[in-house]
Amino acid sequence: MQETELFEPIKAYFESHGYSINAEVKDCDITAIRDDELIVVELKTSANMSLLIQATERQKITDNVYVAIPVAKGKRKHWRGIQRVIRHLELGLLVVSFGPLGASVTKFFDPLPAQRRKSKGRRSAVIREIAERSSEYNTGGSTQTKLVTAYRENAILIATCLEQLGTCSPKKLRDLGTGDRTPTILARNHYGWFQRVERGIYSITDQGIQDIQSYPELHSRSQKFLDDQLENLDTH
């Protein structure tokens, strides 16, 4: 079993309770938001030390931290010991069962307010990352996978615009709706997708054209966004 197999059942569980779900946000496997409430869920295929370290680290962001694991196999005494340790660390516990009719999630207990110093900066960074994503393109528990962060999503939009328009200035791109970070993303060129052809004018590189094809859904949405923006300009 892989951690990613736990994602959909946990996602469905929280969505059924009215939460909005995002995956792989600032090292958090899953975030669930409802109004001002922020929940973090860490996924693991077993209750091990790595899981507990990650989960207690997330308590610096919010008191509402759950660990999610599949049904434990083994002696009942050992399972009770695992629950006791998780509860002692003031974490919540969710257990995923897989059967012929699909997966189900059982909540064993909720987290308690953790007596740990909170980092307002880290919480704000998580909230900001969630707010800046247009949709969910990641799977919680993913490893060795290129994640679609808000920054990458913005870069793909800019690259798609340059792919369609040829060359463009940061100001014109911003006017088309690529966001305030456009000049910074172009100048930093973190992914190697952009090149400055003259002062204040950029184009997309061959590497950029190739790489954005790896994100077909985002690329398609970015193309539609640009078409809509250009159509609006024509009608005005």
CATH of the domain at 38: 3.40.1350
What 3-state class would DSSP assign to 10?
Answer: helix
Give the domain extent around 226. 150-235
Distances (CA, A) of 10 to 39, 91, 212, 221, 229: 12, 16, 30, 27, 37
The residue ranking higher by pLDDT, 15 or 115, is 15
The reply to whether 165 and 194 lie within a common domain is yes
Mean pLDDT in residue range 131-138: 85
Q: What is the pTM of this model?
A: 0.79
- The answer to the question of residue 29 being in a domain is yes
Q: Which of 29-33, 63-67, 140-144 has the lowest mean pLDDT?
A: 140-144
pLDDT 10s digits, 61-108: 999 999 999 987 767 788 889 999 999 999 999 999 988 888 899 999
User: What is the structure's pLDDT at 114?
Assistant: 72
Question: Is 154 within 8 Å of 184 (Cβ atoms)?
Answer: no
Q: How many residues does the chain have?
A: 236
Residue 186 contacts residue 158 (beta carbons within 8 Å): yes
- Neighbouring C-alpha atoms within 13 Å toward the C-beta of 180: 1
Domain boundary pick from 132, 164, 180: 132
Distance in angstroms (rounded) separating the CA atoms of residues 232 and 86: 54
* Domain boundary pick from 99, 132, 165: 132
